[in-house]
């Protein structure tokens, strides 16, 4: 069994470990460090200690596999109506770099119905191989059938790395598959790179609402699985001259699934969905009145963007929950994010601070949103927004 202990003779009582512990699990007793039951065995204290006074016994790892038997980088290509979603291309962009660094092949796995065109597109966007499971019964995403097929493919082909989108489906499929295979899964990675020394996948992700970053490895299990949010990785320019292999693997397609998708309903009628938008215009309580959200929609429309909202406005019933940006809503990363009348509570920042350019318009010069904003306007949104719409309309028509 794993365990951690302070070697009392070596501990000088410097308290470095106390500060390094992310869980407050180290206290000082008689000028020596002591580890409490709140310890999660994360090991942060071990590297912080300059006196080698912390003994960390990791113990035998369960279900370890022979990692040398696994090779290749896989991307789960999500599709809708036979068309790959943009996240699939973003994952291929990230996967391409990893595959090159590992000197191996990049494969896209696509499951659905009527996927002929999709396969070619995936190759033009960086895939060396496309594993396609095309069947009428697989038209709609289904947790049961998709996880069954994906697991079969992993068992048979033994990929080293598997990337999925941190989308509604990806965040359901990935943990189901990882749990069946007994491998590690790291959610919402913002950075993926290969350790130049040992070839392991270094997976960096935000924790505590983005206030802390953690780099995670999966040393003894394969595949190394990670999900990646929208707009975090860059897709490659399509190259029609690229060639690749399209493979139809033999898998057992579950016939009569227990889980049934009865209906799919679209409630968001805007052209651009929040997570995929390049430009988002968000309104907060500073808009004053639900009627004034029309200005938010108008600016979004002029710019070809999507409408976002703060939690306060959703809770007040001004706008639907699907529009909510932030920790309890959606995480977005557009090129430009307009925060109009949003003060910038930490929970809101957690959902949008990875945007490329942030614009804040707020009456209160001390609003926290200005701390993350690239451009700030201290003023009344009701006055600024119409002027801004006019300016953009004049140029964009």
Partner 1 sequence: MNVIVCVKQVPGTNEVKMNKETNTIIREGIEAIINPFDTYAVEEAVRLKEKTGGKATVLSMGIPSVADLLKETISVGIDEAVLLSDRAFAGSDSLATSYALSMGIRKIGNYDLIICGKQAMDGDTAQVGPGLAEKLGIPHTTYVRKIEEIGEDFIRCQRMTEDGYEVIEMPLPAVITVVKEINEPRLPSLKGKMRAKKTEVNVWTADDIGADKALCGLNGSPTQVVKTFVPEHDVDSEIIGGTPEEQAGTLARKLLSMQFAIEVQEEE
The total of other beta-carbon atoms located within 10 Å of residue 195's CB is: 12
Distance CA 26, CA 56 (A): 14
Distances (CA, A) of 333 to 63, 98, 295, 314: 37, 22, 22, 20
Q: Are 337 and 280 within 8 A, CB to CB?
A: yes
Minimum gap (Å) between residue 125 Cβ and partner 1:
18
Site for partner 1 in 371-390 (CB under 8 A): 371-380, 383-384, 387-388, 390
Site for partner 1 in 284-303 (CB under 8 A): 303
Exactly one of 30, 63, 68, 81 binds partner 1 (CB under 8 A); that residue is 63
The structure tokens listed for 111 are: 């499951």
Among 69-77, 103-111, 124-132, 163-171, which window interacts with partner 1 (CB under 8 A)? 163-171
Site for partner 1 in 255-274 (CB under 8 A): 258-268, 273-274
**Torsion sign, CA atoms 90, 91, 97, 99:** negative
Minimum gap (Å) between residue 275 Cβ and partner 1:
6
Minimum gap (Å) between residue 238 Cβ and partner 1:
16
Site for partner 1 in 80-139 (CB under 8 A): none
The structure tokens listed for 153 are: 């493919």
Distance CA 125, CA 238 (A): 5
Question: Quick one: 24 or 238, whose CB is closer to partner 1?
Answer: 24
Question: Quick one: 129 or 203, whose CB is closer to partner 1?
Answer: 203
What mask of x and - would describe binding to partner 1 in positions 306 to 345, judged by CB under 8 A? ---------------xx----xx------xx---------
The total of other beta-carbon atoms located within 10 Å of residue 162's CB is: 28
**Element of type H or E holding 106:** strand 106-112
Running DSSP on this structure, what letter comes out for residue 225? E
Question: Quick one: 294 or 387, whose CB is closer to partner 1?
Answer: 387
Residues listed for the chain: 397
Exactly one of 6, 11, 21, 164 binds partner 1 (CB under 8 A); that residue is 21
Q: Are 368 and 343 within 8 A, CB to CB?
A: yes
Q: Does 278 interact with partner 1 (rule: CB under 8 A)?
A: yes
Exactly one of 24, 116, 238, 290 binds partner 1 (CB under 8 A); that residue is 24
Distance CA 317, CA 329 (A): 14
Among 152-160, 203-211, 240-248, 286-294, which window interacts with partner 1 (CB under 8 A)? 203-211
Question: Quick one: 244 or 283, whose CB is closer to partner 1?
Answer: 283
Exactly one of 55, 100, 208, 249 binds partner 1 (CB under 8 A); that residue is 208
Q: Does 67 interact with partner 1 (rule: CB under 8 A)?
A: no
Coil, helix or strand for 48? helix
What mask of x and - would describe binding to partner 1 in positions 214 to 253, judged by CB under 8 A? xxxxxxxx--------------------------------
Compute, in degrees rounded to 10, the torsion defined by CA atoms 388, 362, 208, 281. -20
Minimum gap (Å) between residue 96 Cβ and partner 1:
22
Minimum gap (Å) between residue 232 Cβ and partner 1:
14
Among 68-76, 89-97, 155-163, 180-188, which window interacts with partner 1 (CB under 8 A)? 180-188
The structure tokens listed for 368 are: 């926290």
Distance CA 208, CA 198 (A): 29
């Amino acid at each position: 069994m794993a365990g951690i202990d302070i070697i009392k003779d070596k501990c000088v009582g410097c308290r470095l470990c106390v500060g390094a512990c992310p869980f407050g699990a180290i206290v000082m007793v008689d000028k020596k460090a002591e580890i409490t039951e709140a310890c999660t065995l994360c090991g942060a204290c071990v590297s912080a200690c300059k006196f080698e006074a912390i003994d960390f016994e990791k113990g035998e790892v369960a279900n370890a596999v022979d990692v040398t038997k696994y090779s290749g980088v896989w991307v789960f290509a999500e599709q809708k109506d036979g068309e790959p979603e943009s996240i699939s291309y973003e994952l291929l962009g990230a996967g391409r770099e990893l595959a090159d660094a590992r000197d191996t092949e990049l494969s896209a796995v696509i499951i659905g119905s009527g996927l002929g065109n999709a396969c070619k597109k995936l190759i033009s966007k960086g895939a060396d191989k496309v594993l396609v499971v095309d069947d009428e019964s697989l038209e709609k995403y289904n947790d049961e059938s998709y996880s069954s097929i994906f697991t079969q493919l992993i068992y048979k082909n033994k990929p080293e790395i598997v990337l999925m989108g941190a989308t509604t489906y990806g965040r359901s499929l990935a943990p189901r598959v990882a749990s069946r295979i007994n491998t590690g899964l790291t959610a919402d990675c913002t950075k993926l790179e290969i350790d130049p020394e040992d070839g392991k996948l270094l997976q960096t992700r935000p924790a505590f609402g983005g206030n802390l970053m953690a780099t995670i490895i999966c040393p003894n299990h394969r595949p190394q699985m990670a999900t990646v949010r929208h707009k975090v990785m860059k897709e490659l320019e399509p190259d029609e001259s690229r060639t690749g292999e399209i493979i139809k693997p033999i898998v057992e397609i579950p016939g009569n699934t227990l889980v049934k998708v009865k209906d799919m309903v679209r409630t968001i009628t805007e052209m651009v969905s929040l997570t995929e938008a390049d430009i988002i215009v968000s309104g907060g309580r500073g808009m004053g009145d639900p009627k004034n959200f029309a200005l938010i929609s108008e600016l979004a429309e002029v710019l070809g963007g999507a409408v976002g909202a703060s939690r306060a406005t959703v809770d007040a019933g001004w706008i639907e929950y699907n529009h909510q940006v932030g920790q309890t809503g959606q995480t977005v990363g557009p090129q430009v994010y307009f925060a109009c009348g949003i003060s910038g509570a930490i929970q809101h920042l957690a959902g949008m601070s990875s945007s490329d350019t942030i614009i804040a318009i707020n009456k209160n010069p001390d609003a926290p949103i200005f701390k993350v904003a690239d451009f700030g306007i201290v003023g009344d949104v009701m006055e600024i927004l119409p002027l801004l719409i006019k300016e953009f309309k004049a140029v964009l028509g």
